[in-house]
Structure 1
């Protein structure tokens, strides 16, 4: 990866202007990136970073540093770009890298929570700032429920219910079979539905119906 690409990934702002229409196609951008053209890294960042940032924020939840995750995704993309067999598949490649890094982050967090358990198996008390509104509280409750899912199940649930992706799109992004995605999503939906069912705050915001949505 060129120093220029690394600098763009680590320092570029997420206040990105939309890419201009009529520019080079993805194949041309990838070839330019591999040969070290100075404009290519910025072009990749401008086109794909907003979506990566949005997905990271939705998967990890409020308070997560989605900007750091986004930068890490592009550091990985730029370092691996020379191995991309199909230059026209850049968008799929960026998304697959995003999913892998998010799943790693979710697993790291789960290990962290396990290691922080007290002798009574209760999570330690931490000061929590009061919610700004009922909606903020509901969102926090929803993500507390998502925290109980495995990384694989949570990723499938968020991509389906928050990103609106099809089962086939999820399978391709995650690199598993359609049947595996259905199992993960079914398991996650059943658990989330059960927990939302017993939470009056979430039910008041209509999340009960969303959690019940069948894959």
Structure 2
């Protein structure tokens, strides 16, 4: 597959897109949060993947390569957004309809408050939290995707989880909503 991709075979690019784009899109949408233009960022991930695939040393690591490109681009995008926010060039975004549809207004509000909490995390901590708790990736998978050690993943995840838990506990309605979600997940 990688050789065909490096040779510019259209079918190979389509196969890589079909295999990885849905997960990349979910990760992008969850890390960037509401109002994010996840489709554009996802496309940019694959533009970078296709242009840099020639540097891939292990053809069996294509999936890890795609996710590491995704994580690097997301970190850059989060930094860019923070700078824009500091300079007051961006407005607060509304939750897009498709991000949580079809759900009730309570769910929309809870998701908005959760993303506000995630927005207080560093790009590294937020990425680790989203990959683990929203994407369900294992710790070794996160380490591989982010290019950091397992110990660093654990530290970032611990810091992020502690911060999110602390903030959720301060918001009784959000805490209650999250508890209802956990009860549904357990059944």
State if a TM-score over 0.5 links the two structures.
yes
Aligned to 1:179: 151
Alignment TM-score, normalising by the size of structure 2: 0.86
> In the aligned structure 2, how far is the partner of 1:78 from the partner of 1:127?
31
Compare relative contact order (CA 8 Å, sep 6+) and give the higher one, 1 or 2. 2
Q: Deviations over 1:42-90 (max 9, x none)?
A: 1111111111111111111122111001000000000001111111211
What SS is found at the alignment partner of 1:205?
helix
- Offset at 1:191? 1.0
- Offset at 1:197? 0.4
Kindly name which structure, 1 or 2, has the bigger radius of gyration based on alpha carbons.
1
Which stretches of structure 1, 4 residues or longer, exceed 6 Å deviation after superposition? none
> In the aligned structure 1, how far is the partner of 2:154 from the partner of 2:92?
36
- Offset at 1:109? 1.1
What is the correspondence of 1:78-157 to structure 2 with a 5 Å cutoff?
78-116=50-88, 133-157=105-129
Q: Deviations over 1:67-116 (max 9, x none)?
A: 00100000000000111111121111101101111111111111112222
> In the aligned structure 2, how far is the partner of 1:39 from the partner of 1:145?
41
In structure 1, runs of 5+ residues without a counterpart are 1-28, 118-123, 211-215
> In the aligned structure 1, how far is the partner of 2:170 from the partner of 2:120?
15
> In the aligned structure 1, how far is the partner of 2:92 from the partner of 2:27?
27
Alignment TM-score, normalising by the size of structure 1: 0.75
Contact 1:168 1:178 in 2 (8 A): yes
> How many pairs does the alignment contain?
175
Aligned to 2:172: 200
> In the aligned structure 1, how far is the partner of 2:5 from the partner of 2:92?
45
